[in-house]
């Protein structure tokens, strides 16, 4: 199966399909002069300084850039405010009454439109409430909500008063929420009585109550009344307050945006790494804003009359940079959708596009593969001719999915931008510029102007075109994360120590003869399940926290829609007999510990795990078994008999 899939991709690559941007597109593109690449790389600091002119600053910078790996500063000495740039500055222009957010709720009849003036009012009321409830500049605020306008409003209010936010994806468990709150010491939590997902209410408030049993730093909780009758929600005495009451209390108070240092923390966002504990990447103010503003404008070729829709969740970095900060600082009209793509029917996305005449769509390969599996009859029922640009992000896109996207969604004409980046990078770094770059299905093409990427071997030497290796970045960029919150050593170890002077992405990639980048995927113990980053160690720790489990090893297996799925091999503590029921319980246990996205697709009970003589679990061999491949080298295995046994158990379980 794996072999045929590889073969198919090779065949597609062999066809060497290329799509040059239509002349009509190039003629109107925000960037149409290819000299931008040369200009930017000849002096990256001059380039970013020029880009920074598009942002409003209270005070200009002394230096565009200073620092040395792993500590960097952009626009030092400058003062600005991200919320001011995303909201206030539009009010003195015609954009005052332009739609900033068109929100489509999951239940069919719910829809709200907020103009920039509306956003200004709501953000100020929220900022006033936060201040009244004791939040001060520098305090951390956790946000645990679904995709509702209040989430964007809260983020902007935090940015306004200089209180860094940490958004926790609404699909995460109480444990995951608690760990994140404690890691950053958040003082306030803003949540909701629920979020709609596929017709069901995700019990956010109940989860938050559970989490907060172990969060001593939280003083106040603001609760948005979104799903149920407010009288049915249990509010905790002095701790919990209603969003609508607090907003009323704020009246029309205006909170002056703080004049913040360019390096003032804007947000902390947790992501999975190679250890069991997620890391909080810290993003700061000035450079981040310049980076996301610039990439939104030029990668999506964003124009004032566009309706732009990034279909990601704000719980991930894509939503931070390309639903909230990038589009709003550009004064764009963005669509925000609350729910699932198949609720109440599989044409929901296309209905939203038709209804809002969306011009730019940004989504993930896993979604595209699901749409493919559902069939073209769903998009065919809708008028998608408004689309003029489409993007993809989150994982490598297989050429087949790319072609399907182009043909059935893009009407065989709409350019596609495959954008490679990470939580750590803050902004897109490898991507086509849609008016300039000829695309190849499956390739993220070239680094953005001013970005110097490379592919290196074990010793850090450049691999010539045609070869593959580790993807690294050799120049700083303004939206880069500055550190891991509370763990600068890990920041250095993880990203800056492997290849001195270079940022190590954790990805492998290949460059073809024309220099096009093809991202292959993670080289560390991080899985990419449906575009979500999950560390194998996190899942393993969740499993061994179950009393029946002695040991666990987790690997990624290929999955037609999710890209990768989780397979777990577990041994039980002696005396416990495993059965189907226990397998179910263990899968459920992981979902409860981390969140439903981490539930193992497959879970096997084995008597032992394959280990080296020094006791290291050999995941590579488990992967071979799960993928039905010929065993790779087994000579370092302590007890070769173990493998046969696991293989038998694996086959018995019907795989």
203-236 burial, b at 16+ Cβ within 10 Å, e below that, comes to: bbbebbbebbeebeebebbbbbbbbeeeeebeee
* 218 or 534: CB nearest ligand WT7: 534
* 293 or 533: CB nearest ligand WT7: 533
244-156-56-259 Cα dihedral, nearest 10 degrees: 90
Residue in 185, 468, 521, 596 binding ligand WT7, rule: CB under 6 A: 521
Helices 116-132 and 149-161 meet at what angle, rounded to 10? 60
Check binding of 440 to ligand WT7 (CB under 6 A): no
Residue that has been written with the tokens 């084995």 in this structure: 606
* 398 or 606: CB nearest ligand WT7: 398
Question: Among 298-306, 394-402, 461-469, 604-612, which window interacts with ligand WT7 (CB under 6 A)?
Answer: 394-402
Residue 608: CB minimum distance to ligand WT7, A? 32
Site string for ligand WT7, 529-568 (x = CB under 6 A): ----x-----------------------------------
Residue in 258, 395, 538, 540 binding ligand WT7, rule: CB under 6 A: 395
* 521 or 628: CB nearest ligand WT7: 521
DSSP 418: E
Those residues with Cβ within 8 angstroms of residue 374's Cβ, 6 or more apart along the chain or in another chain = 342, 346
Site string for ligand WT7, 268-297 (x = CB under 6 A): ---x--------------------------
Residue in 419, 443, 494, 541 binding ligand WT7, rule: CB under 6 A: 419
Of 309, 320, 279, the closest CA to residue 154 belongs to 320
What is the C-alpha to C-alpha distance for residues 593 and 198, in angstroms, rounded to an integer? 22
* Number of Cβ within a 10 Å radius of residue 515: 10
Residue in 85, 284, 318, 356 binding ligand WT7, rule: CB under 6 A: 318
Find the binding residues for ligand WT7 in span 498-517 (CB under 6 A): 505-507
Question: Among 144-152, 367-375, 418-426, 592-600, which window interacts with ligand WT7 (CB under 6 A)?
Answer: 418-426
111-143 burial, b at 16+ Cβ within 10 Å, e below that, comes to: eeebbbbbbbbbbbbbbbbbbeeebeeebbbbb
Angle CA(39)–CA(44)–CA(46) in degrees, nearest 5? 80
What is the C-alpha to C-alpha distance for residues 498 and 458, in angstroms, rounded to an integer? 9
Site string for ligand WT7, 191-220 (x = CB under 6 A): ------------------------------
Residue 68: CB minimum distance to ligand WT7, A? 24
Please work out the total of residues on this chain that contact ligand WT7, with binding judged by CB under 6 A: 23
Q: Is-contact 313 319, C-beta < 8 A? A: yes
* 146 or 506: CB nearest ligand WT7: 506
> Where does 514-591 show beta strands of DSSP type E?
517-522, 526-529, 532-535, 549-559, 563-572
Check binding of 570 to ligand WT7 (CB under 6 A): no
* 196 or 316: CB nearest ligand WT7: 316
Residue 364: CB minimum distance to ligand WT7, A? 8
Those residues with Cβ within 8 angstroms of residue 648's Cβ, 6 or more apart along the chain or in another chain = none
The residues with which 325 forms a beta bridge, in sequence order, are none
Record the tokens describing residue 616, joined without a space. 């290291």
Q: What is the CA radius of gyration of the chain?
A: 24
Q: Is-contact 224 208, C-beta < 8 A? A: no
Check binding of 528 to ligand WT7 (CB under 6 A): yes
Residue in 164, 171, 341, 394 binding ligand WT7, rule: CB under 6 A: 394
Residue 517: CB minimum distance to ligand WT7, A? 9
* 433 or 548: CB nearest ligand WT7: 433
The residues with which 315 forms a beta bridge, in sequence order, are none
Residue 317: CB minimum distance to ligand WT7, A? 5
* 224 or 269: CB nearest ligand WT7: 269
Check binding of 473 to ligand WT7 (CB under 6 A): no
Residue 363: CB minimum distance to ligand WT7, A? 11
Residue 155: CB minimum distance to ligand WT7, A? 17
Check binding of 420 to ligand WT7 (CB under 6 A): yes
Find the binding residues for ligand WT7 in span 572-631 (CB under 6 A): none
Q: Is-contact 409 433, C-beta < 8 A? A: no
* 367 or 393: CB nearest ligand WT7: 393
Find the binding residues for ligand WT7 in span 22-51 (CB under 6 A): none
Residue in 123, 148, 218, 519 binding ligand WT7, rule: CB under 6 A: 519
646-648-651-654 Cα dihedral, nearest 10 degrees: -100
What is the C-alpha to C-alpha distance for residues 536 and 527, in angstroms, rounded to an integer? 7
Q: List residues near ligand WT7 by CB under 6 A.
A: 271, 316-318, 393-396, 418-423, 444, 505-507, 519, 521-522, 528, 533
């Amino acid at each position: 199966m794996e072999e045929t899939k590889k073969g198919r991709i090779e065949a597609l690559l062999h066809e060497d399909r290329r799509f040059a941007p239509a002349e009509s597109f190039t003629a109107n593109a925000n960037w149409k002069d290819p000299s931008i690449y040369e200009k930017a790389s000849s002096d990256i600091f001059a380039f970013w300084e020029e880009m920074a002119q598009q942002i409003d600053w209270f005070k200009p910078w002394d230096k565009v850039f200073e620092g040395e790996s792993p500590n960097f500063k952009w626009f030092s000495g400058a003062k600005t405010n991200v919320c001011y740039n995303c909201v206030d500055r539009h009010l003195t222009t015609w954009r005052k009454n332009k739609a900033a957010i068109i929100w489509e709720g999951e239940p069919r009849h719910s829809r709200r439109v907020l103009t920039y003036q509306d956003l200004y009012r709501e953000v100020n009321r929220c900022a006033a409430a936060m201040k009244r409830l004791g939040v001060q500049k520098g305090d951390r605020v956790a946000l645990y909500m679904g995709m509702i306008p209040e989430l964007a409003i809260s983020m902007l209010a935090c940015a306004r008063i200089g209180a860094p936010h940490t958004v926790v994806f609404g699909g995460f468990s109480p444990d995951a929420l608690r760990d994140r709150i404690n890691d950053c010491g958040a003082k306030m939590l803003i949540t909701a009585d629920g979020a709609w997902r596929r017709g069901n209410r995700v019990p956010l408030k109940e989860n938050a109550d559970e989490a907060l049993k172990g969060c001593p730093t939280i003083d106040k909780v603001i609760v948005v009344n979104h799903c149920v009758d407010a009288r049915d929600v249990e509010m905790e005495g002095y701790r919990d307050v209603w969003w609508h009451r607090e907003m009323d209390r704020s009246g029309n108070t205006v909170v002056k945006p703080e004049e913040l240092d360019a390096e003032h923390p804007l947000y902390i966002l947790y992501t999975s790494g190679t250890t069991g504990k997620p890391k909080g990447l810290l993003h700061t103010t000035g450079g981040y804003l310049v980076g996301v503003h610039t990439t939104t404008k030029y990668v999506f070729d964003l124009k004032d009359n566009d309706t732009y829709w990034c279909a990601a969740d704000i719980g991930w970095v894509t939503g931070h940079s390309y639903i909230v900060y990038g589009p709003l600082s550009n004064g764009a009209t963005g669509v925000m959708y609350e729910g699932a793509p198949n609720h109440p029917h599989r044409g929901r996305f296309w209905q939203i596009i038709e209804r809002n005449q969306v011009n730019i769509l940004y989504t993930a390969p896993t979604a595209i593969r699901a749409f493919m599996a559902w069939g073209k009859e769903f998009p065919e029922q809708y008028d998608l001719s408004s689309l003029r640009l489409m993007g993809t992000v989150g994982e490598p896109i297989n050429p087949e999915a790319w072609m399907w996207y182009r043909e059935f969604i893009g009407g065989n004409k709409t350019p596609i931008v495959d954008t490679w980046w990470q939580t750590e990078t803050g902004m897109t770094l490898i991507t086509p510029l849609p008016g300039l770059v000829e695309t190849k299905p499956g390739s993220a093409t070239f680094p953005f102007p001013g970005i110097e990427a490379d592919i290196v071997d074990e010793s850090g030497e450049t691999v010539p075109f045609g070869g593959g290796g580790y993807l690294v970045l050799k120049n700083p960029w303004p939206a880069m994360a500055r550190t891991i919150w509370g763990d600068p050593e890990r920041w250095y170890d993880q990203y800056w120590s492997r290849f001195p002077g270079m940022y190590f992405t954790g990805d492998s990639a290949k460059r073809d003869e024309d220099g096009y980048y093809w991202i292959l995927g993670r080289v560390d113990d991080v899985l990419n399940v449906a575009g979500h980053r999950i560390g194998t160690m996190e899942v393993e720790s969740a499993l061994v926290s179950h009393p029946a489990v002695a040991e666990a090893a987790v690997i990624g297996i290929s999955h037609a829609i999710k890209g990768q799925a989780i397979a777990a091999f577990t041994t039980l503590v002696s005396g416990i007999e495993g059965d189907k029921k226990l397998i179910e319980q263990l899968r459920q246990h992981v979902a409860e510990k981390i969140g439903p996205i981490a539930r193992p697709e497959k879970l096997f009970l084995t008597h032992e795990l394959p280990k080296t003589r020094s006791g290291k679990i050999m995941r590579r061999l488990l992967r071979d078994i799960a993928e039905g491949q010929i065993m790779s080298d087994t000579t370092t295995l302590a007890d070769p008999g173990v493998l046969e046994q696991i293989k038998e158990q694996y086959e018995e379980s019907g795989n």
